[in-house]
Structure 1
Amino acid sequence: MSKTQFDRQDVLHKATSLFWRVGYNATSMQALFKVTGLKPGSVYLAFGNKEGLFKESLKFYASASIDKLNKKFKQNQSVEKIICDLLFSFVEEAVQSEYCSCYLVKSQLELDDQPQTKHYIAEYLAAIEKIYVEQLATIYPVEEAQIKAMSIMIHIFGLRVYGYHTQNKQSMLSSLQLGLPWLPWPS
């Protein structure tokens, strides 16, 4: 029996999009077969089950997010300016009509009652926070960098969740400036 060949990245992109939009619990295997174009046997052979495909989609999304964050910090700008730019971009995303938050944050909230999956997601979020710590540690003592990174993550989580409740860009920006006064906000 021959194995069906498919573009794994394309399948992960499509599955991630579906899980991200509707959530893990509301995503049926039938919807996954339809969106990916794969037959049930191919999905089960390649990913094991729905949870396996979900975990692979989280890894796919987290890897892309981490790569994007690392590239951003390689720009020839100050660490603090880059952080401001990132936060501004999150606000811009939050005020879009088709806003869908962050896949990791959204999944963490949805699957709060599933400790193993919650832990799996938390590892990716910790990897993102570690990048902030490492970057901030280039200009602050490590302990202060850790506290500032945690504060950034708390603000990002807040933006990602609160973005569903308000479309008021200026209020979100003002709140960031008030909560993170040590960043070099533009006048």
Structure 2
Amino acid sequence: MSDEVEGRAATPLVDEALKKAAVAWVRVPDGPALALWCVPLEGALFVVSGPGEQTAPGLAGATEAEVTLRGDHGGRIVTFPARVSRVEPESEPWASVAPAVAGKRLNASGSVTDLVRRWATDGCALNRLEPAGPPLAGSALPDDSLAEPPRETPAVRQTRKPFRLHRVRRR
């Protein structure tokens, strides 16, 4: 069987997983997998990153990525290679895609028009992740959880002793 036939045979799985995706694990080459908020649209996933939005190091300049979609209970459904392309402001796709993605953005301040304008002027990246090959299946899927150790962060809090309402006396 050729890759094209295998890709088409697996496409319904990817298409169905794409339709239900709200969060995708995206790994760019030489980077960790990041959980990113996404919007399924036109058979692809759209991801916004940049100032005031989620951080996705390396995604804005990437041409390919590996996308993993999970189900309602957290189990991995499918992992597939994706072609990454940036939707530029003032382009024809931007006029239709950006408002649709902005309409799905939860907890955004301002209207959809304000949000789209902010994305265009503040240097945010709207990326399209389109399936670019057959999904990984069988022995190609890793057996481990793909969990990584927590990354270093300046947000550290001191561990305190537990609060006690009253003093406990021991006999």
Which TM-score applies when normalising by structure 1?
0.27
Which structure is larger by alpha-carbon Rg, 1 or 2?
2
Q: Which has the higher strand share?
A: 2
